[in-house]
Amino acid sequence: MTGVWVLLGVLVLGGVAGALLQARNGRIRAARSSAARPTLPARVSAALAPEGVTLVQISTTFCAPCRHTRAILSALAEKTDGLTHVDLDVTETPEVAQALSVLRTPTTLALAADGRELLRVGGVPRGQELLEALKPHLTNV
């Protein structure tokens, strides 16, 4: 009988943990406001657009949600003036993810032309919500 209770407990805890992770997926977080901004890795600095907002997608080679994120962000960048999408695969260069405090893939960073982090999305972003959050930073939206 104890085994049944343990099994039920594990199933309930697993369900709660899964629901919490699903609720956090795609959530937009504003950038932390700190006086000391971390120095961007060279790969990221080189990828920044000279003006507007750059969506930097941090991916890995075998990440299935990364492909979906790539499709969403590419389409968003194509139809929005001042928005650029760059996909960085950090499989071979995990130090980039470490320098940006990225703990999961996909993670999307919205960076201003000067390298300031505007917002961050963990998981697959919701396109329309992301565009709404970026409106104050884009000129022709």
Q: What is the pLDDT of residue 15?
A: 86
pLDDT tens digit sequence for 79-134:
999 999 999 999 988 888 898 888 889 999 999 988 889 999 999 998 899 999 99
Q: For residue 50, count CB atoms less than 10 angstroms from its CB and return exposed for 0-12, middle for 13-18, buried for 19 or more.
A: exposed
Place of tokens 């003006």: 51
Contact 88, 59 (CB under 8 A): yes
Contact 106, 26 (CB under 8 A): no
Q: What is the pLDDT of residue 33?
A: 63
Q: Assign 120 to helix, strand or coil.
A: strand
Q: What is the pLDDT of residue 42?
A: 82
Residue 131: both structure tokens together: 């565009």
What is the model's pTM? 0.79
Q: How much of the chain, in percent, has pLDDT values that exceed 70?
A: 93
Q: How much of the chain, in percent, has pLDDT values that exceed 90?
A: 38
What is the dihedral angle through the alpha carbons of 52, 30, 65, 45, rounded to the nearest 10 degrees? Answer: 40
pLDDT tens digit sequence for 18-33:
777 777 777 777 776 6
CA 134 vs. chain centroid, Å, equals 13
